[in-house]
């Protein structure tokens, strides 16, 4: 469970997150919606432990000190459309192999994800040689290899064509129902949130102004 109570965050003198209180149940998929600058990514960074709140209470899976708990951090995956997890000096296949080794993922899971994201022809490429859509497909493989119980997905569908996007949505639905994976998904596209999410949070100027179904 993810629990936030009266969370505030000020950055460079600006109040980015204001008195945020919410609960996300295990296995729930929650869409985080709002215009640019509404605070979506900052809220994800707080929930994932990348940032610390200035005030309030925050707990994920009964842990409120993520930075001090390697075990707790291994249960989270954060995928971003603007930040890469791939090793820039390694071929894609070597990045995948490294990640699989860290998380104990077997070859069958890696092969399944390679097929899902259709990156078979990219395995000998380096990240800097890829287009945005190609890189995002590889990022998704890398992130999902961990099979973490909590997924933070920040605009991860950018650059993807409709067919591959649908395959990934279907796979995330399976993770939600079969593995009880908790997913927090940010997007500017309401149709994506409607297809994937059980519930949506609408943010404006750092506040959650709506919490409910589509």
What confidence tens digit (pLDDT) does each residue in 4-54 have?
Answer: 999 999 999 999 999 999 999 999 999 999 998 899 999 999 998 889 999
What confidence tens digit (pLDDT) does each residue in 136-153 have?
Answer: 999 999 999 998 999 999
pLDDT score, position 91: 97
Look at the pTM and tell me if it is higher than 0.85. Answer: yes
**28-37, 65-74, 188-197: range with highest mean pLDDT:** 28-37
Q: Mention every residue, 6+ apart, whose C-beta is less than 8 A from residue 33.
A: 40, 186, 187, 188, 190, 193, 200, 201, 202, 203
Q: How far apart are CA 186 and CA 78, in angstroms?
A: 11
């Amino acid at each position: 469970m993810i629990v936030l109570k009266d969370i505030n965050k000020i950055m460079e003198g600006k109040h980015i997150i204001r008195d945020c209180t919410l609960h996300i149940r295990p296995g729930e998929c929650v869409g985080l919606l709002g215009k640019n600058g509404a605070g979506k990514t900052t809220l994800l960074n707080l929930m994932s432990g990348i940032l610390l709140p200035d005030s309030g209470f925050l707990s994920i899976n009964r842990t409120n000190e993520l930075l001090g708990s390697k075990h707790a951090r291994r249960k989270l995956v954060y995928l971003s459309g603007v930040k890469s997890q791939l090793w820039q000096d390694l071929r894609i296949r070597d990045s995948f192999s490294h990640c699989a080794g860290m998380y104990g993922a077997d070859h069958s899971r890696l092969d399944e994800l390679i097929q899902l994201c259709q990156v078979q022809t990219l395995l000998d490429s380096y990240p800097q040689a890829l287009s945005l859509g190609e890189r995002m497909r590889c990022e998704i493989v890398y992130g999902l290899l961990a099979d973490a119980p909590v997924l933070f997905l920040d605009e991860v569908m950018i650059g993807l064509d409709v067919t591959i996007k649908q395959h990934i949505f279907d796979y995330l639905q399976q993770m939600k129902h079969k593995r009880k994976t908790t997913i927090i998904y940010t997007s500017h596209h309401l149709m994506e949130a409607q297809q994937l999410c059980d519930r949506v949070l609408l943010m404006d100027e750092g506040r959650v102004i709506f919490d409910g179904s589509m």
